[in-house]
């Protein structure tokens, strides 16, 4: 790892790594921190040639730009280097130059969150911490639970009582101590923060722990590398708390700073209409995000009070990007269309990024030469009940050819 400093996303004040701060002491909980490396030093450790020779097919190939110690104990689960699919037929249907689908539902616990959890358990082990905790809409929790299990660590999880059953079951099979919090995600976060403080657990809350966005940024780094360093023009990503959108920018930013890529794609953040405070702030040119209640079928982005809003606004603006918001109907239609046309099955929050791409294309906001990547952040099997709303039901038939012909023709 190259030496790093922490920089508040709100006031810009810098702090040394040794300060071990999570958020800025001046700005409080909203002052989330950027992790900035000594890029001249990093350049000596990582570059196009060293990566071309690197045989690792996981996120650790970028470890020179990750906040972990060189020979620290790592989880055995394979995280990252997920496929980036070129979809020429879909590209021509929507009249863009190229459409790339990054299938991050292919990670060990089936969401992009595994990239953050891999770093979290590594850091916890470096610090000899044995219990990790987080609040989550579902995926961060099931991911943390899986990675803690793999490392022989304990996890304590706070999720809203409405979290989809597949995600809660994942938690339980990985042996986590699970609390179903009576209330929404914001309530789960409040309780988790207090409990983490009280018991002294390792904090895997992504917005608060600055190092987790560092793990997630490897998704963008892979997109760049899988494109042969000729990065796409626009990258669509769904937005809840704002960590993934921040990390997408950060991955490209770090590669730009070490001279591996020569530009940063525009980051397009996609929110659900019922939970779009970051979208509103971007459209209004505001420098604050107004919190409020939220409701969407895409549970992973059902966030009315996004914790990482400061970094998210910075990521979208610094990349000359934009935002859009899609309705639950548009999300459900994307849940059905994406697998039918690509073979990639996404949970609603993952399909939201694709719904945003479709909306941009239909509104004429993409140009024919545009090269577009869409990040699919979670696998469809996470939330089968939502997918069932988006597809027709199957026909029942007697085991009799005549009966089949009656139906099939
Ligand atoms: C967590 C999550 C998101 C949203 O990420 P944020 O960092 O909260 O903005 C999107 N999709 C899936 C599948 C997720 O699990
Ligand atoms: Zn600050």
Taking only the tens place, the pLDDT of each residue in 46-87 is 999 999 999 999 999 999 999 999 999 999 999 999 999 999
Domain ranges of the chain: 84-110+212-390
Helical H segments across 127-209, by residue range? 139-151, 165-173, 185-199
Give the pLDDT confidence score for residue 205 in this predicted structure.
86
- 245 CA closest ligand 1 atom index: 9
Query: Which ligand approaches the C-alpha of residue 142 most closely?
Result: 1
Nearest-CA residue for ligand 1 atom 2 is 300
Annotated binding residue 379: no
CA 355–ligand 1 middle distance (angstroms): 15
pLDDT exceeds 80 at position 245? yes
CA dihedral 103, 2, 22, 8 (to 10 degrees): -90
* Arithmetic mean of pLDDT, 157-165: 91
* Arithmetic mean of pLDDT, 36-46: 96
Ligand 1, from 378, 382, 383: best to mutate by most atoms within 8 Å of Cβ?
Answer: 378
CA 56–ligand 1 middle distance (angstroms): 26
CA 240–ligand 1 middle distance (angstroms): 6
CA 215 to CA 244: how far, in whole Å? 10
* Arithmetic mean of pLDDT, 82-98: 98
Give the pLDDT confidence score for residue 163 in this predicted structure.
87
pLDDT exceeds 80 at position 2? no
Q: What is the CA radius of gyration of the chain?
A: 21
CA 280–ligand 2 middle distance (angstroms): 23
Nearest-CA residue for ligand 1 atom 13 is 378
DSSP structure class, residue 135 = E
In DSSP terms, 32 is beta-bridged to 23
Give the pLDDT confidence score for residue 343 in this predicted structure.
97
Average pLDDT, the chain: 95
Correct CATH for 84-110+212-390 of 3.40.50.1100, 3.30.60.50, 3.90.1640.30, 3.50.50.60: 3.40.50.1100
List residues near ligand 1 (CB under 6 A): 111, 113, 139, 238-245, 300-301, 347, 349-350, 377-378
- 136 CA closest ligand 1 atom index: 1
Residue in 351, 353, 341 with CA at minimum distance from that of residue 389: 351
Instruction: Please work out, in degrees rounded to the nearest 5, the angle formed at the alpha carbon of residue 269 by the alpha carbons of 324 and 297.
Output: 75
Q: What is the pLDDT confidence band of residue 167, given thresholds at 50, 70 and 90?
A: confident
Q: What is the pLDDT confidence band of residue 1, given thresholds at 50, 70 and 90?
A: low
CB atoms within 10 A of CB 198: 8
- 244 CA closest ligand 1 atom index: 7
DSSP structure class, residue 132 = E
Query: Which ligand approaches the C-alpha of residue 139 most closely?
Result: 1
CB atoms within 10 A of CB 161: 13
What element of type H or E holds 213? helix 210-216
Q: What is the pLDDT confidence band of residue 338, given thresholds at 50, 70 and 90?
A: very high
Q: What is the pTM of this model?
A: 0.96
CA 218 to CA 213: how far, in whole Å? 9
Query: Which ligand approaches the C-alpha of residue 31 most closely?
Result: 2
Long-range own/partner contacts, residues 283-289 (CB < 8 A, 24 or more apart): 283/323, 287/313, 289/313
> Cα 116 to the chain's mean position, in Å?
9
- 138 CA closest ligand 1 atom index: 15
CA 129 to CA 146: how far, in whole Å? 16
What element of type H or E holds 257? helix 243-257
């Amino acid at each position: 790892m190259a030496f790093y400093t922490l920089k508040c996303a709100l006031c810009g004040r810098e702090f040394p790594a040794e300060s071990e701060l999570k958020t800025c002491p001046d700005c409080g909980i909203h002052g989330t921190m950027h992790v900035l490396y000594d890029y001249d030093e990093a350049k000596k450790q990582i570059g196009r040639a060293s990566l071309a020779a690197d045989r690792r097919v996981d996120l650790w190939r970028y470890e020179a730009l990750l906040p972990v110690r060189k020979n620290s104990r790592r989880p055995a689960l394979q995280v990252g280097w997920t496929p980036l699919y070129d979809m020429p037929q879909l590209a021509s249907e929507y009249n863009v130059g190229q459409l790339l689908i990054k299938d991050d539902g292919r990670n060990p616990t089936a969401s992009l969150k595994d990239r953050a959890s891999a770093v979290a358990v590594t850091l916890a082990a470096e610090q000899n911490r044995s219990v990790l905790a987080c609040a989550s809409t579902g995926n961060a929790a099931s991911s943390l639970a899986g990675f803690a299990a793999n490392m022989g660590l304990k996890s304590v999880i706070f999720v809203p009582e409405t979290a989809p059953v597949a995600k809660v079951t994942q938690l339980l099979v990985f042996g986590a101590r699970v609390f179903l919090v009576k209330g929404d995600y914001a309530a789960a976060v409040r309780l988790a923060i207090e409990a983490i403080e009280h018991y002294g657990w390792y904090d895997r809350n992504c917005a608060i722990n600055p190092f987790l966005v560092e793990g997630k940024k490897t998704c963008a780094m892979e997109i760049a590398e899988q494109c042969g360093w000729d990065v796409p023009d626009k990258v669509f990503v769904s937005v809840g708390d704002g960590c993934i959108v921040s990390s997408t920018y950060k991955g490209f930013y770090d590669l730009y700073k070490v001279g591996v890529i020569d530009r940063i794609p525009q980051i397009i953040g996609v929110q659900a209409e019922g939970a779009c405070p970051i979208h509103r702030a971007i459209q209004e040119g505001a420098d604050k995000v107004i919190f409020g209640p939220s409701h969407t079928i895409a549970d992973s982005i059902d966030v009315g009070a996004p914790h990482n809003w400061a970094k998210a606004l910075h990521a979208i603006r610094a990349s000359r990007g934009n935002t859009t918001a899609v309705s639950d109907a548009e999300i459900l239609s994307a849940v059905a269309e994406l697998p039918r046309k690509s073979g990639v099955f996404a949970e609603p929050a993952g399909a939201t990024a694709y719904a945003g791409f479709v909306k941009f294309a239909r509104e004429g906001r993409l140009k024919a030469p545009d090269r577009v990547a869409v990040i699919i952040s979670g696998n469809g099997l996470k939330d089968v009940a939502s997918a069932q709303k988006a597809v027709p039901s199957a026909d029942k038939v007697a085991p009799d050819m005549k009966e089949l012909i009656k139906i099939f023709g």
